[in-house]
Copies of this chain bind each other. A is one copy, B any other.
Amino acid sequence: MNQTLSPAAVPGSVVGTGSPSVASPTFSPLYQQIKALITQSLQSGEWKPGELIPSEVELAFRYKVSQGTVRKAIDELSAENLVVRRQGKGTFVATHHEARAQFRFLRLMPDAGEAHQPENRIFEVKRLRAPAEVARVLDIKSGDSVVFIRRLQYFEGVPTILEEIWLPGVIFKGLTAERLAEYKGPMYGLFETEFGTPMVRASEKLKAVAADAGTVELLGVVPGTPLLSVERVAFTYGDRPVELRRAIYITDQHHYHNELS
């Protein structure tokens, strides 16, 4: 028999499922319910990126389950990179403010030599009404406010990535070119700490395209040069899409690295 946590109670107790009704509510294992509760606490900001979450023993007491069940829940959250375990210390909410997380969303590597931090140049940051296509992807209404960013990234001083980024205006209200420019470190770090929106996973579509008139002068390549087009949709907790990013990579000295397993 399955068990179910009382829906509202965060410090809930284990209860029976009762007799199955007509439209039987799809039961999920206890550890999945615990996992959902922990994810809710992450989403609500109860535990912020970089912070220590309660210990397994503490959570087991709170949810009235065994430590092993909490453990299995956290195991999955750890596998999904939502939290990071550190033996002897505790479990921490994953953050983009770590060398470790920097290259999870940046797969462009130099063909030879070590990977370096890119530098940025912001071209523009402005508010727009969301085009239908952008609205659809971000799961907002067409015409809703969006923040539009255009920037260039340099590797070792060489312009390499040209990006256009769309963000929901509601979430990224106070985002300005100044704040972006003065911010040290990866953009997702800023999104996380300044706007309470950590990027958790992303989906990308890659194509080879020819350099067009607009990109030629910005990237300093001849027209027709083959470039790697990368369209990304990034998601925060609860699989909510919060970023559409269209990028052009110059791949004569770099490559997009991918592991298949």
Residues of A within 8 A of B (CB): 79-81, 104-105, 107, 200-210, 224-229, 232, 249, 251-252, 255-261
Give Cα A31–Cα B225 distance, bound, in whole angstroms.
52
Contact across chains for A208 and B224 when beta carbons are under 8 A apart: no
A206: nearest residue on chain B (CB-CB)? Answer: B256
Chain B residues closer than 8 Å to A226, beta-carbon distance: 208-210, 226-227
A80: nearest residue on chain B (CB-CB)? Answer: B261
Contact across chains for A258 and B258 when beta carbons are under 8 A apart: yes
Contact across chains for A255 and B206 when beta carbons are under 8 A apart: yes
A81: nearest residue on chain B (CB-CB)? Answer: B261
Contact across chains for B201 and A260 when beta carbons are under 8 A apart: yes
Chain B residues closer than 8 Å to A105, beta-carbon distance: 260
Copies of this chain: 2
Among A202, A210, A226, find the residue whose CB has the most chain B CB atoms closer than 10 A: A226
Chain B residues closer than 8 Å to A252, beta-carbon distance: 207
Contact across chains for B257 and A205 when beta carbons are under 8 A apart: yes
Chain B residues closer than 8 Å to A104, beta-carbon distance: 260
Give Cα A225–Cα B209 distance, bound, in whole angstroms.
8
Given A81-B261, A104-B260, A227-B226, A255 contacting B205 (CB threshold 8 A): yes
Contact across chains for A204 and B257 when beta carbons are under 8 A apart: yes
A260: nearest residue on chain B (CB-CB)? Answer: B202
Contact across chains for B81 and A208 when beta carbons are under 8 A apart: no
Give Cα A85–Cα B227 distance, bound, in whole angstroms.
42
A257: nearest residue on chain B (CB-CB)? Answer: B205
A252: nearest residue on chain B (CB-CB)? Answer: B207
**A224 in complex: contacting residue of B81, B224, B228, B249, CB < 8 Å:** B224
